[in-house]
Structures are given as C-alpha cells and as structure tokens.
Structure 1
Amino acid sequence: MPSTKKLLLFSHICNKKNITGAEKLLLFLALKLSAYYQCVIVVPKEGALSGLAAQSGIRTIVHHIPLLYGMCQPHEGLAEQAEGLSRDVSFVETSRLLSHESPDYVLVNTSVHVIPAMAAKALSIPVIWHITEVISNNEYAGDSVKIIDQYSDWIICISESAAAPIRESIAEKLSLLYPSWVWKEFNPDLWPQLREQQRLAWKVASTEKLIGYISSYLTAEKGSDHFIEAALEIAEKHEESRFVVIGAKNNDSFYGKLRRRVSESAYAERFIFIDYVANVESAFSAMDVVIIPSLKDEGFGLTAMEAMILGKPVVAYASGGLEEILSLTGNQSYLASTGNYYELSAKTSAILEQPGEIESIGNNNRIQIEACFGPKAYEANLQVILGQINSLPVGSTPALKRVPRSAASKVKAKKRRRARKTRRVSSASARRPSRAMRQREAGRNKRNNRGSRKLRRVRRVSQKSARKKKK
C-alpha cells in the first residue's frame, strides 16, 4: 500500500513473557490504527509484544533506547536531564533510524519515552504522545508537562486521571481515548467450560468462592502484600473462600515475605500462587471476585476492565484510573481508601455474605463496562482523533546527512575506525611469515638444492660407467 501513510510506534518495554498493561494498550492501538496506516512497532528487545505483533502481521524493529523515568516521577533538574538526551548517542542513532524508515508520524508510548519524540521533532516528523500513566503531582510536575508539550504535536491520554496534569496547561492538543477490546478475542459461550476446567486444574471445588489477584509482576506498588492481608482477613470469616495470586516474582525479598506471610498463617492451604497464565480469560472465568489493591495511581486499570467484561465483581483501591472505572460503571461502593486493606476485606466479605450478589454485580458489570468502554464507544472516539492526527502537517524527512552528530557519537565512530584498522593490521601480520620462518624456509630450499645437485652427479657417474661396460 504505497499511498498509505506510515506510523512508527515506540514501545518503552518488551517483556519476555509477562506482558504489561502498557504493552497491551500499545498493541491494541496499533491493531486499530493499522486499518488506516502502515504501522511499525519499535521495541527495545524481542519479547511477548513483538511476538504478538508478528502474529497480527505488524512489523517490528528492535532498537534499544534509554528511558527518562523522571518524567513520571518528576524531580529537580529534569529539564536539564531531558536536554542532555539530545546530545546522547541514542538520540543520534534514533534519528538515523527515523531517517531510514521515513515515517509520516511517530507515536511514543508512555511519558518516559522521550528520545523518540525529541528525534522526531528535530526531523520535523509529527509526534503523537500516548500517555498511559499518571504523572506524580509534585512541585516538578510542570517540568514534565512542558517537555511533553515541547516535543509533541498531539497528546492522547487513556483516562482523565492520566490527562489531569496535562489538561491544566495544554488542553488544546489533548484527546481522551479510553482503552477497549474486540469481542473476537473473547469466547462468552465457553466461559462456563473454561471456569470448570480451570477450577479443576487449580483444585478449587464448585462450592468454594475463589477471590483472585492478577498482575504481571508481584510488586509493592501493585499492592500484592495488601491482597494477602485482605485475603487472610476474609479467610478467617469465610470458610468457603479460596485465593489465587497470579504474577511473576520481581524481587526475591518481597516475594519471600509474601510466601512466608501465607505459609505461617492458619490458611496456607487455601492459597494458590501462579507466576504466569497464558489465557487470562480462563483465569478470570475461574474467579468469583477480583481484588485490585494498587497503591499507585493507575493510568487506567486493564485488570478491572477485563474482570468486568467477564462479569466479575471488582473491589479496588481508589487509585487513579481504578476510581474512574468503578465510578463510571456504578461501582463506587466497592472502592476502598488506598492503603486500607481492612476496607478491601470488608467490602469483599459483604459480597460473599449476600446470596446471589456475585451474579447480580457481575451481570451489571458486563452491561456497564460495554456501555462506557465498549468497542462502539472506542471507535467513535478513535474517528475523532484520526481527524485530528490527519490534520497535522506532514513533511518529508530530512536526509540522513542532515542528522546532527554529537561529540560522543564522533568519539564512538573514531574508536570503530581504529578497531577496524587494528584488525586489518593484525590480519596482515598473521598472513606475512616472520623473519625466522623465512630463514628456516631458505635453509630448507638450500638443502634441497644441494641434495638435488648431488643426485644429478651420481646419475651422471652411473650413466658413464654403463657406457664403458657396453664398449
């Protein structure tokens, strides 16, 4: 499709197995945008995201780029640190990548992915900045917003929580695009069967109530320990309760504390720990209630959305986008104060104590989540954003020779040339015989010549003797 405009999407991470919410969101967006653009995803390394993209027919490029984590946790000196990236070797290499690919647009995922935005702006390529997280609201937050403003032509935020710090100063180029899903990725008719199979695999009886926690990694900021504490409170009150903790180990010490807290309790046999599930649909189908105790302000909260799609009650901390999702779907009463796991326990217990409450809440969640965030609502918002993107001026990407070279880049190139010269000299030296070898070879030749002369004399004497005998 030569007439189709090209869009490069830069992912800040590409985990090997446990795909994060930010990666899922980027892939979903790329799949949607591939109907309108020639999409290419740039990843720092091969992993789950690049594999899923390839399965969907989206080309990927592996190109490692340093991240600026101070963008989501702003600090003193952030502006100077960002400016310094323009003199980094990665800036030059990314500029060269852009010159080679010549995209019409660049989309960078998350606030920490600054270098692609800076490089694209330097080459007059329109930049769409996709903000999936909440920038910490501190005295330096304005510096982060200024950087986003300086190096973007349009900004897409996945929730009001993510948009709040930006909306105050640059609302004129800001769009809201809540995440969504496509129904072909789900199999509602199979949910009862998936539930039965998964519970059988986990050895959970049909009469037991399974409360679940799921995250890419078990970390403190995702509240894994708060889930354990809430679960132990629930276990004491409800004999029929079981618990499944899904997430990979991220820190040995923290993970060890989680396991010890459970093993030293009176309810250890009621807990299931799983590091990874390939099919989240089966996992959610097996659960009765989902708890999301995130201690950080979430940009959105895909776990809550996925649980509601499958008709599950969700109890969560009122953290950023989680509060937004539960409020918009009429689940305010199942929001707990961030950090108060006793509230999580109490609200979950209230659901377990009411006959039929799990099914009633779950069914309502399925209806409300589709009304607020379903495919139809997403497509309508996307069309508006496409109009805004297509109105951005698109120019030709400057030729490669115009890409600025930093001092660090020049030093690096000089070292490469010196290394190549050294290899050539070494190779030539290896091929050229040494003086001692040449002397030994000359000696052998001399001896061979001497032997040859002697042999010729012997032959002449023999021939002369033979002729005399004949006479």
Structure 2
Amino acid sequence: MTLGAGSDGARRNALFVHQSAEMYGSDKVLLYIVTGLLARGRYWPIVVVPSEGPLVEALRGSGVEVHVAEIAKVARAVFTPRGFLGLIGQMRTAIRDYDKVVAGRRIELVHSNTLAVLGGAAWAWRRKVRHLWHVHEIIISPRLVSKAFPRLVSMASDKVISNSTLTERWLVTEQPSLQPRSVVVFNGLPPQGEVSADAAEAFRRRTGARPGDLLVVLAGRLNRLKGQGLLIDAIARLKARGMLPALHVAIVGDVFAGQEIWRTRLVDQVAEAGLGEHISFVPFVDDIRPVWSAADIAVVPSTEPESFGMVAIEAMAAAVPVIAAGHGGVLDIVEHDSTGLLFTPCDVEALAQALLKLAHDPALRARLGAEGRRHQLSRFSAESQIAGVEQVYDGMLLEAR
C-alpha cells in the first residue's frame, strides 16, 4: 500500500483548521499547501475557516473543499477566567461543527495552521485522531503567553511543523519535550507566472510614484510589528538631511478590524513629517504579483522577530532586492550582501543607510535581485514545502499503525 492512500487507493482525508479567510502570510501558506496536496492526489484536504473572504474564494476556485465554522480562536483575552470560559464554549461548538463537516468520513489527521486556533486540537482529542500543529508564530511577550503556547503545543500535538529554525528554537527552548516531535518545513511559493507590463505600470500609477522614481514597497498588516513607522522615520531622516533619493514608498496592506488606529497613526506620521508626496498607502490587494513586478526595492523592517517572512520570498521571486531587519525567521531567508541586505533591527539610521546604498547602486540592486530569485527557487518553493509536509504526514500515519 502506498502511504497516504487507503487500501482501496482512495485519498486519505486531512482536516485543516485555519484562523482567517484573508490573504496574508499564513493564509497564503495554507492555500499553497492544500492546493498542492490536492494536485498530488494522495491526501484530500478539508479546510475549516471562521468566515467568508478572499482565501475561501481562492480555495473554492482551486477545487478545495472548504467550510465556514467555529475555530475557537485564541486571543490574549482568553488568559483571563472569563475569556477561558468563553474559549471552552467555542471548543465545544467547534467539535459539533466539525462533526457536521466530516459527515462520517474517516479523518486520518488534523492539521491546525497557526497557534491561534484550538478547534482542531479539541476535535482531534475528542475523536482520537492524530493532530499536527503548524506553527507560524514566535511569541516573545507577554512572558505568560510566551510560555503558555509551547506548553499547549506539547500537550495537544503528535507532531509539530515550524516554519523556520527560529520558530522551532523558541518552541523547543520553552518545551524541550517537543524536540523529538518537531520538524522545520520552510514556507514556499508556487511558480508565480508572468505579470504584464500594463499591470505593473497600473500599480505604479496607483501609488502616485513619479516617472523615474524608485518604488520602495513595504507589504503587510498595518501594525506595530511590521515596522511601517520605522520606515517612515528613515525616509524623514533622509529628507531632513537633504539626502532623499528620487524614490516613492508604497505601504501596502490593511489593519485588522477594530485596529484602525494603526492606520490613523501612520497617516498622521507621514503628514507631520511632510512626506505626503513621497509615501502613499495602498489597501490590501488580491494579487500581490503586480506589486512586486512594479517594485524596485522591498523592505521588511519588522520591529520584533517574525517567524518567517513570506513578503521576503515573494519579492525574491520577482527578483526584487530585499532590505530586512536582521532577526527572526528572515535570517533563514536573507544572507547579507548575497540575497539581500540586513540591518540592525529598530535602527532608523541603519535602515536609512541601507536604502541609500541600494538607491544609488543599480548594479547592486540587480545582483541582489538575481541572487535572491535563485535562492527562492532552490529553497523556498511550494514543491519542496508540500513534499516536506507529505513526509511528515506519512510518518504520522506510520506511527499510528
């Protein structure tokens, strides 16, 4: 019998539980994994998300079975007595919902995508199904939360996939018992396809960049972590010194619902620095490829260590040179002066100098872009990620026999 197929040759069912229906980092990872698994034909993914949204549309368009149901999402509020009681109720609802989704089918394993969901772990425990936790986060503070999540993963998972060596190090440092169950599988991208010159130019026009400007792009959620404010400060510093090159910064992305204050603060920061003609805000875009086709420089200035850095490999896939804060999972992706430039995290001056260096050196931009693309294709492809995930699944099924 081929692992991953039942005795009748049918695909094995895998239940996926994911935290959102949007199209940011972990959402894209889920999309690439389940569509890849579907194409390979050995596992049948059944996806549960909490709401309708762009991810659901993309999944359905690719022929993936997807359901909207309770996911028992973890937020910091659950670390209170009232919040914990509410979470228990959500997990009970999730178990009932997944029973309806499964509808009597045999589920070989449950794949919880991100630490933010508990519904999958609860259903797997209740129905005695193997559970895999796919971790996309590094949580440093508050300390209570940083210690609680690895303990939870240790208690409720048969196997753990980390998206970077830094993520795995955090988990295993907090919970050494996870080491034998832990594996790193890097995120990857499927072939991106060609983007028309018209689509790229349309995005440039949307940003307000002038002809001849270098287009600098920061793509991601508008929040404290992603470093938009740091980039604005770096541009303001260059302008104050009369050293600002001919460039335009596009900050691409939206806030979480209820956190609109972050966008207001950033817009106010740009206005107070008198940078309105140099920095623009572009809401979330469904197809990121024209963004990177139009970009000359990508910036990933995260102020806290992130677990991976999908934006970095997306830019690399388009041969766009990357400037990144040198911490977190991005250290698995960017090698300084080879596949990009690293700067000291939270250092405005270091970021400003990196921008100047790339802005004034087109040959360096071309070299870093080309090397970055080769690196992405060789190490961060969807094909390699899906093969790694399948290998983990196969090992879990062997252990269960």
TM-score range, shorter chain: 0.7 to 0.9
2:315 is equivalent to residue 307 of structure 1: yes
Q: Deviations over 1:27-58 (max 9, x none)?
A: 11111222221211111111111111100001
Name the CA distance, whole Å, in 2 between partners of 1:11 and 1:286.
31
* Match in the other structure for 2:231: 227
CA distance in 2, matches of 1:95, 1:276: 31
Which residue of 1 is the match for residue 45 of structure 2?
Answer: 39
CA gap of 1:101–1:43, structure 2 versus 1, over 3 A, is: farther
Q: Which of 212, 219, 222 is matched with 1:218 structurally?
A: 222
Alignment of 1:232-247 (within 5 A): 232-235=236-239, 236-247=242-253
CA distance in 1: counterparts of 2:16 and 2:95, whole angstroms? 18
**Residue among 266, 275, 278 paired with 2:283:** 275
CA–CA distance in structure 1, aligned partners of residues 358 and 330 of structure 2: 19
Q: How far apart, in 2, do the equivalents of 1:246 and 1:234 lie? A: 21
Deviation at 1:249, TM superposition (A): 4.2
In structure 2, the partner of 1:363 is 370
**Secondary structure of the residue that 1:29 maps to in structure 2?**
helix
- Aligned partner letter, 1:388: G
Displacement of 1:142 in angstroms is: 4.4
Question: d(CA) in 2 for partners of 1:94 and 1:303?
Answer: 34
Specify every segment of 5 or more residues in structure 1 that has no aligned partner in the other structure, as ranges: 395-471
Partner of 1:428: none
Equivalent AA in structure 1 for residue 108 of structure 2: D
How does the TM-score come out when normalised to structure 1?
Answer: 0.73
Which of the numbers 259, 263, 277 marks the counterpart of 1:255?
263
Counterpart code for 2:374: I
CA distance in 2, matches of 1:331, 1:178: 17
Q: How many residues align?
A: 383
Q: Within 5 A, what are the aligned runs for 1:164-183?
A: 164-167=169-172, 168-183=176-191
**Residues 113-192 of structure 1 mapped to structure 2, 5 A cutoff:** 113-136=117-140, 138=143, 141-167=146-172, 168-183=176-191, 185-187=192-194, 190=195, 192=197
State how far apart, in whole Å, the 2-side matches of 1:267 and 1:121 are.
Answer: 54
Q: Secondary structure at the match of 1:268?
A: coil
Q: 1:100 aligns with which of 85, 99, 103?
A: 103
Question: CA–CA distance in 1 between the matches of 2:94 and 2:193?
Answer: 41
Summarize the Cα distance change of 1:354–1:380 in structure 2 as closer, same or farther, 3 Å threshold.
same
Checking the alignment, whether the CA contact within 8 Å between 2:16 and 2:120 is kept in structure 1 is no
Q: Structure 2: where are the runs of 5+ without partners?
A: 1-7
More displaced 10-residue stretch of structure 1: 367-376 or 48-57: 367-376
Amino acid at match of 2:213: E
Spell out, residue by residue over 1:204-249, the C-alpha distance to the aligned partner (whole angstroms, 9 max, x if none).
344211111111x311222221121122234441341111111124
Give, in angstroms, the shift of residue 140 of structure 1. Answer: 6.1
The aligned counterpart of 1:208 is 213
Task: Supply the distance in 2 between the matched residues of 1:260 and 1:87 (Cα, whole angstroms).
Answer: 38
- Compared CA separation, residues 82 and 135, structure 1 to 2 (3 A): farther
What's the CA shift for 1:362? 1.0
Does structure 1 retain, via aligned residues, the 8 Å contact 2:230–2:348?
yes
For 1:140 and 1:198, how far apart are their aligned partners in 2? 40
Q: 1:254 to 1:112 in 2, by over 3 A?
A: closer
SS in 2 for 1:106: strand
Question: Take 2:218 and 2:164, find their aligned partners in 1: how far apart are those partners?
Answer: 23
Aligned to 1:27: 31
By how many angstroms is 1:24 displaced? 0.9
The aligned residue for residue 60 of structure 1 is: 66
| Letter matched to residue 145 of structure 1 | P
Are 2:381 and 1:374 aligned?
A: yes
After TM superposition, the structure 1 stretch with the greater mean CA deviation from structure 2, 301-310 or 97-106, is 97-106
- Normalised to the residue count of structure 2, the TM-score between the two structures is 0.85
What is the rounded CA distance, in whole Å, between the counterparts of 1:43 and 1:329 in structure 2? 40
Alignment of 1:378-389 (within 5 A): 378=385, 380-389=387-396
RMSD: 3.0
For residue 331 of structure 1, report the CA deviation from its aligned partner. 4.4
Compared CA separation, residues 274 and 197, structure 1 to 2 (3 A): closer
Q: 1:124: Cα distance to partner?
A: 0.9
Amino acid of the residue matched to residue 300 of structure 1? F
Q: Choose the corresponding residue for 1:338, options 337, 340, 345.
A: 345
Range moving further from structure 2, 136-145 or 27-36: 136-145
Partner Cα separation in structure 1 for residue 156 and residue 301 of structure 2: 34
Relative to structure 1, the CA distance from residue 329 to residue 39 in structure 2 (aligned partners, 3 Å threshold; closer, same or farther) is farther
SS of 2:232's partner is helix
> Within 1, Cα distance between the matches of 2:145 and 2:330?
24
Displacement after TM superposition at 1:297 (Å)? 2.1
Q: Which residue of 2 aligns with 1:351?
A: 358
Amino acid of the structure 1 residue aligned with 2:153: I
Of 254, 266, 273, the residue aligned with 1:265 is 273
Q: Which residue of 2 aligns with 1:455?
A: none
Q: Is the 1:86–1:118 Cα contact (8 Å) retained in structure 2? A: no
Aligned match of 1:112 = 116
Structure 1 segments (4+ residues) deviating >6 Å: 73-77
Report which of the two has the higher share of helix: 1
Report if aligned partners of 1:126, 1:392 keep a CA contact under 8 Å in 2.
no
CA 1:224 to 1:389, structure 2 compared with 1: closer, same or farther past 3 Å? Answer: same
The yes-or-no answer on 1:326 pairing with 2:334 is yes
| Residue 49 of structure 1, aligned match among 51, 55, 69 | 55
Alpha-carbon contact 1:95-1:120 (below 8 Å) kept? no
How far the C-alpha of 1:111 sits from its partner, in A, is 1.3
Contact map agreement 1:110 1:131 (CA 8 A) in 2: yes
CA 1:239–1:112 in structure 2 vs 1: closer, same or farther (change >3 Å)? closer
Letter in 1 for 2:272: E
Distance 1:288 1:26, change over 3 A: same
Contact 2:16/2:111 (<8 A) preserved: yes
CA distance in 1, matches of 2:338, 2:78: 33
Q: Where in structure 2 are the equivalents of 1:405-420 lying within 5 Å?
A: none
**Preserved CA contact (<8 Å) 2:48 2:66:** yes
The alpha-carbon deviation at position 338 of structure 1 amounts to: 2.1
